[in-house]
Amino acid sequence: MDPTHQLVKIQVVIDQDLLAATDELASVSGSNRSAFVREALRRQVKRLRIQALEERERKSFSEQPETDREKAEFEDWEAGQAWED
């Protein structure tokens, strides 16, 4: 964790089963509840940001479809590549 960030205490309401699973997985991973939840939130925020970027890119490409010339150029380039297994 970045030492320049100050931690803030929050209150979250979750169901008992989710709390039990969180505590169990935190313990198994050698962590504590707060650290486990922080990491889960970081991962979810990152996932949602990536998903938003991908959707924006997908929308942009759908609004400007590839031309036949661009497709042919890529196919020529791809055919000339030496792919190793």
As a whole number of angstroms, the distance between CA 85 and CA 74 comes to 21
Provide the pLDDT for residue 47: 94
Q: Which residue has the higher pLDDT, 48 or 58?
A: 48
Provide the pLDDT for residue 20: 98
Q: What is the 3-state secondary structure (H, E, C) of the chain?
A: CCCCCCCCCCCCCCCHHHHHHHHHHHHHCCCCHHHHHHHHHHHHHHHHHHHHHHHHHHHHHHHCCCCHHHHHHHHHHHHCCCCCC
What are the tens digits of pLDDT across the range 3-42? 678 999 999 999 999 999 999 999 999 999 999 999 999 9
User: Which positions ≥6 away from 14 have C-beta within 8 Å?
Assistant: 22
